[in-house]
Amino acid sequence: MELENILESLYFSASRPISTSEVLKILDDPAYNLDAIKNAISNLQKKYQDSSFELVKVASGHRFRIKQKYSPWISKLWSEKPQKYSRALLETLSLIAYKQPITRGEIEEVRGVSVSSQIIRTLLDRSWVKVVGHRDVPGRPALLATTKEFLDDLNISKLSQLPELPEIGSIPAEAQMNLLEETQDNA
């Protein structure tokens, strides 16, 4: 009971996901082991079943999130509209997510166009992407990979939960046309 309240207070105060190992370190008490924490987490998940929020597991730990059905009211609280990303950015992000680690040059090769610094900056800034090393070729280009925050923001806990990359030849022609349609709507 008390352990659940302590956990709850941690999740609500952190404004980021917290891992069980971090919880163990904070508690620093032999009375609370990993099993006790896991048990408390599952109790908390049950406890708040009918409320507006839920305890979810993401890449870097657990956190409370507000159920999606309440988004219409919450979005009214914010005067700014959430960022809508361009197709160029999304394609770049997809390449980083599915072919990581990857250099900017390699992204450009697949997309057939240059990738603007602006896009890379936005992704780094958003902490969705980070530099994990440099390729050992002339110019030592940075190798880009996605971060835990990226998975957290999509509410998933590992890369393998991303949508599957379509197989070559399995993409119906209509899907292509729909893509174009989208772009025109957004233009």
Partner 1 sequence: MDNSTELKPLQQELNLAVLNGEEISFSADDLYIPPNALKIFLESFEGPLDLLLYFIRKQNLDIVDINVLEITNQYVRYIDLMEKIQFDLAGEYLVMAAYLTEIKSRMMLPKENDSEDEEEDPRSELIRRLQEYERYKTVSKSLDAIPRAGRDFYLASSALPEFESTRDLPEVDLDQLSNVFAELVQRQKLSASHIIEFEKLSTREKMSYILDLLIKEKNIEFHKLCDSKEGKIGIIVNFLALLELAKDSLIRIIQSKDFGIINLSSKDEVH
Contacts of partner 1 in 128-167 (CB under 8 A):
130-136, 140, 143, 145-146, 152-156, 158-160, 162-167
DSSP letters, 67-113, are -GGGHHHHHTT-SSPPP---HHHHHHHHHHHHH-SEEHHHHHHHHSS
| Phi, psi dihedral angles at 122 (to 5 degrees) | -60, -45
Using CB under 8 A as the binding rule, whether residue 47 contacts partner 1 is answered as no
**Which of positions 78-97 make contact with a copy of itself (CB under 8 A)?**
78-80, 83, 86-88
Q: Give how far Cα 138 sits from Cα of 26, 71, 84, 105, Å.
A: 46, 48, 35, 12
Using CB under 8 A as the binding rule, whether residue 21 contacts a copy of itself is answered as no
43's contact among partner 1, a copy of itself, none, with CB below 5 to 8 A by partner kind, is none
Q: Give how far Cα 52 sits from Cα of 55, 66, 157, 175, Å.
A: 11, 6, 22, 36
Residues in contact with a copy of itself by CB under 8 A are 5-6, 8-10, 12-15, 18, 22, 25-28, 51-53, 64, 66-67, 70, 73-74, 76-80, 83, 86-88, 104-105, 112-114, 116-118, 121-122, 124-127, 130-132, 139-142, 147, 179-181, 183-184, 187
